[in-house]
Amino acid sequence: MSEPETPAGPDDEELLKQVEEELKRLKVADLLVQTLYTVSSLGYRKLSVEDRDLEQAHLAIESLRALLPVLDGAVAEDVVRDFRQVTANLQLAYADAARD
């Protein structure tokens, strides 16, 4: 019985080159914006009734507050403004959840 053929894929060297090319194009500011989006989404999730974890929600809020000033001047003003609003809304939602 012969072994099944595996599809030819990029070797390790080619894969490394692809990763290096991606890293060249990636901007730290873009990664930080994506991180803020992910952290804010997770923070809201941790305030939901199903997944309530106030400690984790608080950590999300503090993370947003710490990273936002770093983005001042590095990304468009409206992006920073929107994340400031998200942070404020998350803080209000946290206060509501903490009362329950």
Locate the domains of the chain by residue range. 26-99
Q: Is the dihedral of CA 49, 53, 58, 64 positive or negative?
A: negative
* pLDDT, one tens digit for every residue, the chain (100 residues): 555 555 555 688 999 999 899 889 999 999 999 999 999 999 999 999 999 999 999 999 999 999 999 999 999 999 999 999 999 999 999 999 999 8
Neighbour-count burial of 43, counting CB atoms closer than 10 A to its CB (0-12 exposed, 13-18 middle, 19+ buried): buried
- What tokens were used for 32? 């930080």
Q: pTM of the prediction?
A: 0.79
- What tokens were used for 84? 């400031």
